């Protein structure tokens, strides 16, 4: 890879950070996808990549990249995201006149079927909470319990839960910073607020100066991988569906609101979705549930 291309990549990274204001996870994904493609392209054209090579990219090279990834187990959904990453970089190059054009910007992503959200039943949530509370781990048990409550009872993403800071607990309305730095206000109950403050006070000695509420046993900010592993272990013990994950609690929150006839706009606001179409996927879950009820209870079923 030549030095000019390296320089443009660094400029692009600054652009998606400061101007596009993509989340940290999205930035990392975009950068990883781009470098993955450039590694592939180097082998595909059998020479070091230069800036001019990107101007003359065609759909065949992208298709070959997709096929190679699918053979290695990458999903169509991941390929679609990777194409978005590459388009972001090429769009940046065209916008700043580093290259004249790119036919890839007109290329549509691969089609794939959206999986419907899989909410948990009330009984499943109860069993998960009971399993967490059975652990005799002091403040860690309270920590894990509160993580579930915030995801299930307030629809927070696991990353949003782990980003809550101690200073955020001075008021009963939490300011949540979601995807794309989109903020929203979530009112929480006094009981939940009390437990969060209790958790803050129970933090290991010597770690009180840490800004975050949810800490690991070593006193550092808790990582999402720890929560994912916790749910994975509980899923195995309780024999829950293989797709049960921390995000399942957020799905459950949204589905429960829809079942209670809460309007989509309010659900969109609570979930922090930038597009109503993202929220509308939960209506399909509700329709599937209605279909099952009719099939089970219809006089001629």
Q: What is the pLDDT of residues 111-148, one digit of tens each?
A: 655 566 688 999 999 999 999 998 877 899 999 999 99
- CATH of residue 43: 1.10.150.130
Active-site annotation holder among 69, 200, 251, 282: 282
Is residue 46 included in any domain, yes or no? Answer: yes
- What is the Cα–Cα distance from 64 to 111, expressed in whole angstroms? 16
Is residue 112 included in any domain, yes or no? Answer: no
Q: Is the pLDDT of residue 212 over 80?
A: yes
Active-site annotation holder among 76, 81, 179, 232: 179
Q: Is the pLDDT of residue 50 over 80?
A: yes
Please state, for a pLDDT cut of 70, what percent of the chain lies above it: 88
Same domain for 237 and 96, yes or no, is: no
Same domain for 46 and 156, yes or no, is: no
Q: Which residues of 124-160 are buried (b: 16+ CB within 10 A; e: fewer)?
A: bbebbbeebeeeeeebbebbbbbbbbbbbbbbbbbbb
Same domain for 78 and 135, yes or no, is: no
Query: Is 179 marked active-site?
Result: yes
- What is the Cα–Cα distance from 19 to 253, expressed in whole angstroms? 33
Q: Is the pLDDT of residue 270 over 60?
A: yes
Same domain for 202 and 148, yes or no, is: yes
* Residues 169-193, mean pLDDT to the nearest whole number: 86
Look up the domain containing 208 and give its range: 122-295
Q: Is the pLDDT of residue 32 over 70?
A: yes
Query: Is 157 marked active-site?
Result: yes
The set of residues, in sequence order, having a beta carbon less than 8 Å from that of 270 and lying 6+ positions away, is: 154, 155, 184, 186, 253, 257
Active-site annotation holder among 143, 157, 200, 251: 157
Same domain for 137 and 25, yes or no, is: no
Query: Is 273 marked active-site?
Result: yes
Active-site annotation holder among 87, 165, 247, 289: 247
Same domain for 157 and 260, yes or no, is: yes
Same domain for 173 and 202, yes or no, is: yes
Residue 181 pLDDT grade (very low, low, confident, very high; cuts 50, 70, 90) = confident
Query: Is 247 marked active-site?
Result: yes
Same domain for 214 and 65, yes or no, is: no
Residue 289 pLDDT grade (very low, low, confident, very high; cuts 50, 70, 90) = low
Quick: pLDDT tens for 98-120.
999 888 988 876 665 556 668 89
pLDDT at 117: 65
Same domain for 101 and 128, yes or no, is: no
Burial of 118 (0-12, 13-18, 19+ CB in 10 A): middle
Is residue 245 included in any domain, yes or no? Answer: yes
> What are the CA-CA distances from residue 158 to residues 127, 210, 227 (Å)?
20, 19, 8
Same domain for 144 and 91, yes or no, is: no
pLDDT at 119: 86
pLDDT at 78: 84
pLDDT at 286: 59
* Residues 255-272, mean pLDDT to the nearest whole number: 86
């Amino acid at each position: 890879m030549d030095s000019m291309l390296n320089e443009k990549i660094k400029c692009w990274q600054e652009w998606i950070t400061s101007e596009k204001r993509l989340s940290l996870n999205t930035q990392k994904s975009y950068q990883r996808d781009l470098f993955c493609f450039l590694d592939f392209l180097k082998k595909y054209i059998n020479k070091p990549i230069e800036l001019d090579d990107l101007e003359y990219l065609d759909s065949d090279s992208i298709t070959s990249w997709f096929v190679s990834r699918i053979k290695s187990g990458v999903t169509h959904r991941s390929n679609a995201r990777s194409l978005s990453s590459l388009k972001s970089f090429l769009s940046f190059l065209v916008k700043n006149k580093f290259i004249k054009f790119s036919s890839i910007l007109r290329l549509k992503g691969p089609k794939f079927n959206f999986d419907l959200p899989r909410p948990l039943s009330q009984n499943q949530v109860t069993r998960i909470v009971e399993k967490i509370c059975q652990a005799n781990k002091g403040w860690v048990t309270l920590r894990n319990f509160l993580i579930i409550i915030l995801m299930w009872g307030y629809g927070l993403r696991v990353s949003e839960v782990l980003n809550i800071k101690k200073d955020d607990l001075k008021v009963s309305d939490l300011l949540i910073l979601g995807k794309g730095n989109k903020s929203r206000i979530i009112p929480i109950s006094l009981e939940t607020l009390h437990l969060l403050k209790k958790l803050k006070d129970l933090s290991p000695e010597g770690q009180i100066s840490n800004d975050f509420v949810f800490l690991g046993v070593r006193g550092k900010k808790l990582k999402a991988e720890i929560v994912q592993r916790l749910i994975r272990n509980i899923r195995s013990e309780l024999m829950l569906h293989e797709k049960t994950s921390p995000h399942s609690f957020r799905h459950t929150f949204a589905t429960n609101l829809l079942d209670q006839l809460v309007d989509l706009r309010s659900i969109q606001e609570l979930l922090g979705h930038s597009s109503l179409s993202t929220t509308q996927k939960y209506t399909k879950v509700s329709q599937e549930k209605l279909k099952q009820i009719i099939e089970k209870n219809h006089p001629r079923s």
